[in-house]
Structure 1
Amino acid sequence: MALLLFLLILLVPASNADWPPSPGYWPSSKFKSMSFYKGFRTLWGPQHQSLDQRALTIWLDRTSGSGFKSVRPFRSGYFGASIKLQTGYTAGVITAFYLSNSEAHPGYHDEVDIEFLGTTFGKPYTLQTNVYIRGSGDGKIIGREMKFHLWFDPTKAFHHYAILWSPKEIIFLVDDVPIRRYPRKSVATFPLRPMWVYGSIWDASSWATEDGKYKADYRYQPFVAKYTNFKAGGCSAYSPAWCHPVSASPFRSGGLTQQQYRVMRWVQTNHLVYDYCKDYKRDHSLTPECWR
């Protein structure tokens, strides 16, 4: 009997320990999926997009990448998409889902990023989250990067990635698991102007993979990303003043539950690979939220 129990233990996958605990709340369930053309339009590279059975495919080759943009700007809300990435050599390639007002405020814009940094054979993708406030294009780029190696292979299946943006905080979520919370500590360090939702694939060889060590290699083109299960809900820029911001938790006032904080700590303990606030080579006088 003892031998049988021992064998059963060996046969049970240990991978559950590598997955985050339940967050206890699933914000994505509060928003209906929409078809691509209901909420978005092609922004650039239309010849590098195709839509089939509600999934949008975009790709990068030597001639061009591709991008899309939401029809409406928002002043707060929940923005998500299920994404599947390409396997193999993808160094130098960025697959992104993000908020921005760069076209409305060129050279002086805000941006909230989920970016997948391409990789080389046998190495995992890096998921980079980032926040820019007023002026990432003015020559004084102040990024607020936190980077993760995920607890799953994002090339094997679709997973849901989301940004929840309210006037109080920004929450980044993966399959409804909060991985990062960026609170509003001052007006100067938080984006408050309306933003649109974007997605894109493009060549960022100068910095994307190991600080530019590995470049995009077009022998492996096209580089493909698939998006589906689009969700965008909240207060648009045209909503009445009484429109209430959405929450990442059951608390209507916003914030995370204790269980959500626990799972976020689990992710950051086990899967965080870079935190700008802990990079002592950086000038943190430019990121006062790191020491306040």
Structure 2
Amino acid sequence: MMAPFVCLISLLIMSHLCNAQAQPSPGYYPSFQVAPLGFYQGYRTLWGPQHQRLQQGTLTVWLDRSSGSGFKSLKRYQSGYFSAAIKLQPGYTAGVITSLYLSNSEDFPGHHDEVDIEFLGTTPGKPYVLQTNIYVRGSGDGRLIGRELRFNLWFDPTKGFHNYAIFWSPNDIIFFVDDVPIRRYPRKSDATFPQRPMSVYGSIWDASSWATEDGKYKANYNYQPFVGQYRNFKIAGCGPGISCRLPKVSPSGSRILSPQQVTAMAWAQRNHLVYNYCKDSRKDRTLTPEC
């Protein structure tokens, strides 16, 4: 029989480990500040209409050998809060990306801006990777400068819908998962911060060349269709011809996160961040002066 003192120590250690992994409350919930809207109130199908289905407010998109699918906001924005609740497919999804992002690639081909939430598909037994990324006047033409932070989430994103959001103000970009801020990207210079109007997009597509372990695992269409689901769409944006007040993302209403939100973000990065572009020795630091 284990001695009482040893039992007590074991319980304390287990309690500490559980507390270290438990999601802390951010203390404030920006998503509550924005009312949901129907898909067609804010978006339209962009490509792959035969691979989309809207049913009872939930948009299902899928990828198979013939095509993926994507949608785009009806308006362009220059700041705002943009979110959706997303559920991912379990099993083999290597090479597949399900995304929610801002971009102006159609307006500025070759030198566009982009703010990404991307789920990188995986193989059974390994977690999805949530990638956040920011491009500033860059495209896939040799001038692409990625600013990736990647996370392994503290829950299984295939078992239910979770809310993912981008807040873009003139001074900050903040990424949220279930209202927990996971990344804040401040505006340190005009050259490293997107300022031109962007649309909101969502898509599912084949990115076998890089999505899963740098392209080691490809999309395997024996497992098709690959499915993503979106619902609870929220847009509160300002832009060309759209005047508005940005929603509050902190209790004070300012762009500064509260101490409790900062603590929650530090927890997410300490326990779940798996890649930071600023710490990648392969990157040319002169291209990312914000690091």
TM over 0.5: yes
Instruction: Verify the 8 A CA contact 2:95 2:218 in the aligned structure 1.
Output: yes
Q: Is the 8 A contact 1:76 1:246 kept in 2?
A: no
Query: CA offsets per residue over residues 258-281 of structure 1, 9 Å max, x none?
Result: 110011000000000000001112
Which of 147, 156, 166 lines up with 1:144 in the alignment? 147
Count of residue correspondences: 284
Residues 166 and 246 in structure 1, CA contact (< 8 A), matched pair in contact too: no
Is 1:264 matched with 2:260?
Answer: no
Partner of 1:222: 225
Distance 1:72 1:159 in 2: 25
From 27, 41, 44, the counterpart of 1:41: 44
Give a deviation string over 1:99-123, Cα, whole Å, max 9, x none: 0011111111100000000000100
Equivalent residue, structure 2, for 1:278: 279
The RMSD of aligned alpha carbons is: 2.0
**2:57 maps to 1:63:** no
Equivalent of 1:80 in 76, 79, 83: 83
Match of 2:107 in 1: 104
Q: Secondary structure at the match of 1:155?
A: coil
Q: Secondary structure at the match of 1:289?
A: coil
Task: Give how far 1:140 is off.
Answer: 1.3
Q: Secondary structure at the match of 2:150?
A: strand
TM-score, normalised to structure 1, is: 0.93
Q: Which runs of 5+ in 1 are unaligned?
A: none
Q: How does 1:1-292 map to 2 (within 5 A)?
A: 17-240=20-243, 243-290=244-291
Deviation at 1:16, TM superposition (A): 5.9
Q: Is the 8 A contact 1:34 1:230 kept in 2?
A: yes
| CA contact 1:45–1:66 (8 Å) conserved in 2 | yes
- The percent of aligned pairs where both chains have the same amino acid is 67
Q: Is the 8 A contact 2:109 2:139 kept in 1?
A: no
Deviations 1:220-261 (A, max 9, x none): 000000000000003132124xx4433421233312111100
Bigger Cα displacement from structure 2, 247-256 vs 96-105: 247-256
1:260 counterpart SS class: helix
Quote the Cα distance in structure 2 between the aligned partners of 1:155 and 1:53: 20
Q: Does the Cα contact within 8 Å between 2:33 and 2:247 map onto a contact in 1?
A: no
- Following TM superposition, the consecutive aligned residue runs of length 4 or more in structure 1 with deviations greater than 4 angstroms are 14-17
The one-letter code sitting in structure 2 at the alignment partner of 1:40 is: Y
Amino acid at match of 2:194: P
Describe the SS at the equivalent of 1:208.
coil
State the alpha-carbon separation in 1 of the partners of residues 239 and 284 from structure 2. 35
